[in-house]
Amino acid sequence: MQCMWCSNMNVDQGTKDCYWILPDGKDAVHILQIPALVCVDCGSYLTDEMNHDIDMALYARELPKGRNEITYEELMSAPYKNIFDIKNV
Ligand SMILES: [Zn+2]
């Protein structure tokens, strides 16, 4: 596996904890154990695809109320928001 930044071939898969701004821009959530790449030169970071997936999940899914921490697993298995109701109001 190759580093996306420095082309080092010495890259492992690991996890990373990140603060993420919610789509409303007012709040942030701490997302734990996100699958990440770990490069000996660049440190650990998320791929563009992973960034995109998390953005989409935060936009589309219902987060557990009253929590500012969630694991990646929990986020990706959270129920979808019922956006069709909103459209018909
Ligand atoms: Zn690197």
Q: How far is CA 75 from the centre of its chain?
A: 8
Interval 15-45: pLDDT, tens: 999 999 998 898 999 999 999 999 999 999 9
For the question of whether the overall pTM of this predicted structure is more than 0.75, the answer is yes
d(CA 5, CA 27): 30
Given a contact cutoff of 8 angstroms between Cβ atoms, the answer to whether 40 and 79 are in contact is no
C-alpha 48 to ligand 1 mean position (Å):
14
Give the Å distances, CA to CA, from 45 to 30, 36, 37, 55, 82: 15, 6, 6, 15, 32
C-alpha 37 to ligand 1 mean position (Å):
9
Q: Which parts of the chain are beta strand (E)?
A: 11-21, 28-39, 43-45, 69-71
